[in-house]
Amino acid sequence: MEYIFRENGYVDILLPRFKNKVSRNLLQPVKKGDHIHIKLDTLGSAIWKLIDGNSTVTRIVCDLEESYTEKLTTHDETIKRVTQFLSLLYQQRYISFLQILDKKSS
């Protein structure tokens, strides 16, 4: 998944407006870019930056708790927020989980 960093350090996930080249050429609005920008907030951007293909959900939670103590209240609340966000990213097919991919290929 493509993404960019905005000037403030936050992340924009870039979604292609059209996957098919013919559709893109016929339907793409003239003044619109090739991508839709999904703008992540502070915590969303922090989580996105921690997704590296090796970190577990537990590791991401621990790293967030170390870096964002003022924004996160309890450990349980952090787990809830991270898992909900990662679930949403997975449902939208912005990310995948290696454990799920390993099970599918077995």
**Sign for the pseudo-dihedral over CA of 15, 45, 59, 72:** negative
Q: 80 and 33 in one domain? A: no
Q: 99 and 56 in one domain? A: yes
Give the separation between CA 41 and CA 11, rounded to whole angstroms.
8
Tally the domains of the chain: 2
pLDDT for 10 equals: 97
Q: 100 and 58 in one domain? A: yes
Mean pLDDT, rounded, for 24-48: 80
Q: 33 and 2 in one domain? A: yes
Q: 60 and 90 in one domain? A: yes
DSSP sequence for 30-96: TTS-SEEEEE--HHHHHHHHH--SS--HHHHHHHHHHH-TTT---HHHHHHHHHHHHHHHHHTTS--
Q: 99 and 54 in one domain? A: yes
What DSSP state is assigned to residue 7?
T
pLDDT-based confidence at residue 61 (cuts at 50, 70, 90): very high
Q: 80 and 51 in one domain? A: yes
Q: 54 and 33 in one domain? A: no
Structural domain boundaries, residue 1: 1-39
**Sign for the pseudo-dihedral over CA of 57, 58, 63, 65:** positive
Token pair for 106: 């077995």
pLDDT for 79 equals: 95
pTM for this predicted structure: 0.81
Q: 96 and 71 in one domain? A: yes
Give the separation between CA 77 and CA 75, rounded to whole angstroms.
5
Three-class DSSP category at 2: strand
